[in-house]
Structure 1
Amino acid sequence: MTAAIENTAQLVEAGAVMGLLPARPRLLALGEPTHGEDVLLEVRNDLFRQLVEQEGYRTITIESDCLRGLVVDDYVTSGTGTLDEVMERGFSHPEIGLGASAANRELVRWMRAYNDGRPESERVRFAGFDGPLEMTGAESPRQALTALHAYLTTRVDAGLLPCTAETLDRLLGADDRWTDSTAMTDPTRSVGQTPEAARLRLLADALVALLDTQVPHLIATSSSDDWDRARMYGRTATGLLRYHFWMADTSPSRLAQLLGVRASMMAANLLAAAERGPALAYAHNGHLQRHRSRMEMSGLPLEWWSAGAIVNARLGEGYAFMATALGTIRHHGVDTPPPDTVEGLLYALPEDRYVVDTRRLAAALGDATPAPRVSPWFGYSPLDPAHMTEHDGIVFVKDVLPR
């Protein structure tokens, strides 16, 4: 059995990954089963460099705030700011240490060095594809709304604008009204269903509609970057206002709606990244998987379609998903996997890192059904063997060691 399984595995290289796919995907998604482990990010970095140099990939997009990601993109494309400033301001989710990660810092440094002296058409780009959302709540829609309004103000007749900047400022009020962390567990603390928020949703919709009706003029009078950013401001503003609306909801569907809105915002940003050309997306496996997501929160069973499932439905073979699995994270109590699990079977192989052909692995297993692995640590999500063949491949890392 071990020999048959070993024949399904190759070293983690761009050529091996592409060999598993019918064609080069517009969006290649690489998942991780846990956050905060630099060895997994180092595998990502190595693969991205090879994809750039060998396969013509030009964008990497990760599970971080799309607005903050603009800070990173400005640095890697034009050298705006310093590396220290970018790591501090360009990443969200401090609870998982995105900005503090040495591997993320190395990614940004390499991208800047790669772009130095290259023409614009050959530069690599960075994007965050998450909304301006954290576990404890959501940002104010101010940045996205006012940036969208400012873009339109300089390009269309004033009479076409649905409101003034002063009106937006008045309706938005103080930002801390929107970012109150207690609203995540107490809907009555949210401002998402106030009359002012309802008015802002209508105005945001009108501003996005203006982008659509003025497309020929706006594209002709904008750089491609300005146009792309304007569309991102529009979908972020409407998405944030929708998210805040559901933050204020008191129905049993509140949490499922919030998860769905976040996934929809992620998917829209992933599709936008794919429009630029071949892109690598990196996030938790759960955000990129094809099957329906399920979890229990606050005693309620929740179901929603992940960003990956939404993008897969839109792109078809233009979307590919490689799930990462791992053997041990001993510093979190995750020890050697049982031999009857997928992780246990792969752990028995001699090398430290592999890319595995899931269809050949399933054929090698025959009628044997691997047992699901159970993690003793909430922060690690093992592979679900029932969905293994829905992945285009598995990247396996044998041991995750503490830094």
Structure 2
Amino acid sequence: MDIKDTARLLDGAGVSAFLRSLPAHPRLLGLGEARHFVEELGEVRNEIFRHLVEHEGYRSFAIESDCLMGLVVDDYVTTGAGTLDDVMERGFSHGFGALTANRELVRWMRAYNEEHDEKLRFFGFDGPLEYWAASPRQALTGLYALLDGPLPGTVVSRETLDTLLGPDDRWSNEAAAMDPSQSIGRSDDARRLRLIADDLVALLETQAPQLSAEDGDRAALYARTAVGLLRYHYWMADASPARWTRLSALRDAMMAANLRAVAENGPALVFAGNLHLQRDKSVMPFGDQQLEWWSAGAITATHLGDRYAFLASAFGAAGDDIPPPDTVEGILSTLPWDHCLIDGRRLAEVVTKDVTKPAPRVSRDFAYFPLDPARLGVIDGVVFLKQVATQG
């Protein structure tokens, strides 16, 4: 078996053949990004999603973007609420709303729903955070509002909740990312809010039977986001060497909790960084530290087993950044297709049989995460683009 025996043209037939090769039909199919803001990969992703919807019964799309902002996009996709321009501005975090491929995806999903009774759904599954984190106000007050009658007032009044939350900018202070002393995550107000959030979540459990399915899903989203944000803020105030490892792990745990909720809405394509969706530990240099934590994909696979599948992406030439021929990306660049889909485990067999093992690619682009030759065996497949434009 040589390298061509591991690959097929990346088209609808190739995607369906790949799905049939898996041990089970995935509830979540993760498509990883080797680098954010690559329009060519977004275009390929859109083609894959359209095929999955039209031929494989997929009904949901989830992206590495703020889960609460994603509600704006989902409302537009399902009901037509708002305008496309407004949705792209308010419905995405991390600058993802500016990408042409994302705009085209949202436009297509809305057009599809206008013509079909069974609606497509859109989800953000990241927390409302970057390295810093947002105020828990939207999540806490949203949960509070969905709970019935006077009972929330026995936990805390709305006025007291607003007082404890205070101005949003004291939570979203970006300087707290690098200076724990500027975080309010261990202040008396924050500690009390963590207890209140716990009580509201317990109250939600007692009231779950009386909520509609839509209100129940939204309340559960608010609940896990409020708890997750307050926990993240608590660790932002930590000054120990374990701080960034803990924060990275908490972020992926929030992602994984959201992905489990997405899985309940039927088969979904999930789009996020390779590091978040891979099945094993994520490793990332950070200053003078080497961070290691279990990825959202690893946590999700623990719960879903074979119903979770992961496609990593990789690029050949990115502008003038050309992979050396002895790297995995260099080897894949010899394939005859511009876009191809490779069986990850068969690829691992081929490259490990060679006397000279592939060398890890060292890219000049710090934002590109190359394929690790030693980890190919835990990847279901690779979406390979032979050439992409120079990245900004």
Category of TM-score, reference length = shorter chain: over 0.9
Residue 180 of structure 1, aligned match among 173, 180, 184: 173
Name the stretch that deviates more: 292-301 or 259-268: 292-301
Q: How many residues align?
A: 386
Equivalent position of 1:401 in the other structure:
389
Q: Indicate if the aligned counterparts of 2:347 and 2:376 stay in contact, CA closer than 8 A.
A: no
Report matched runs for 1:252-291 at 5 Å: 252-291=241-280
Q: Residue 245 of structure 1 aligns with which residue?
A: 234
Q: What does 1:121-160 align with in structure 2 at a 5 Å threshold?
A: 122-135=118-131, 137-152=132-147, 155-158=148-151
Aligned-partner Cα distance in 1 for 2:256–2:168: 26
Percent same amino acid at aligned positions? 58
Alignment match of 1:334 (pick from 321, 346, 357): 321
| RMSD after superposition | 1.5
TM alignment of 1:369-384, pairs within 5 A? 369-384=357-372
Distance in 1 separating the partners of 2:352 and 2:298: 27
Matched, 1:70 2:66: no
Which runs of structure 2 are paired with 1:194-233 in the superposition (5 Å)?
194-218=187-211, 222=212, 224-233=213-222
Q: Tell me, in whole angstroms, the C-alpha distance in 2 between the residues paired with 1:185 and 1:366.
A: 41
* Superimposed CA distance per residue, residues 171-213 of structure 1 (whole angstroms, 9 cap, x where no aligned partner): 0001111011111111111111000000000000110111112
Q: What are the within-5 Å matches in structure 2 for residues 85-100 of structure 1? A: 85-94=86-95, 98-100=96-98
Q: CA deviation at 1:356?
A: 0.5
Structure 1: which 5+ runs fail to align?
A: none
1:328 and 1:334 in contact (8 A); partners too: yes
Q: 1:366, CA displacement in angstroms? A: 5.1
5+ long unaligned stretches in structure 2: none
Q: Which amino acid aligns with 1:381?
A: F
What are the equivalent positions in structure 2 for 1:275-314 lying under 5 Å apart?
A: 275-314=264-303
Offset at 1:156?
4.6
Q: 1:364 and 1:294 mapped to 2: Cα distance?
A: 25
When normalised by structure 2's length, the TM-score is: 0.95
Aligned-pair CA distance for 1:159: 6.6
* Native 8 Å contact 1:178 1:191 kept in 2: yes
Separation in 2 of the partners of 1:296 and 1:377? 14
Return the alpha-carbon distance in structure 2 between the equivalents of residues 159 and 191 of structure 1.
25
Q: CA deviation at 1:16?
A: 2.9
Residue by residue over 1:350-395, the C-alpha shift from the partner in whole angstroms, topping out at 9 and shown as x without a partner, is 1100100122223333522222111111011100010001011111
Question: Could you tell me how far 1:286 is from its partner in structure 2?
Answer: 0.3
CA contact (8 A) 1:132 1:139 kept: yes
Do the aligned partners of 1:189 and 1:248 also contact (CA within 8 Å) in 2? yes
Within the alignment, does 1:167 sit opposite 2:160 as a pair? yes
- Contact 1:147-1:230 within 8 A present in 2 as well: yes
* Partner residue in 1 for 2:350: 364
Q: Deviations over 1:139-189 (max 9, x none)?
A: 10000000000000xx25537741111111000001111011111111111
Counterpart of 2:377? 389
Match of 2:113 among 104, 109, 115: 115
Structure 1 residue 291, shift from structure 2 partner: 1.2
Does 350-359 or 193-202 show the bigger shift? 350-359
Q: Secondary structure at the match of 2:97?
A: coil
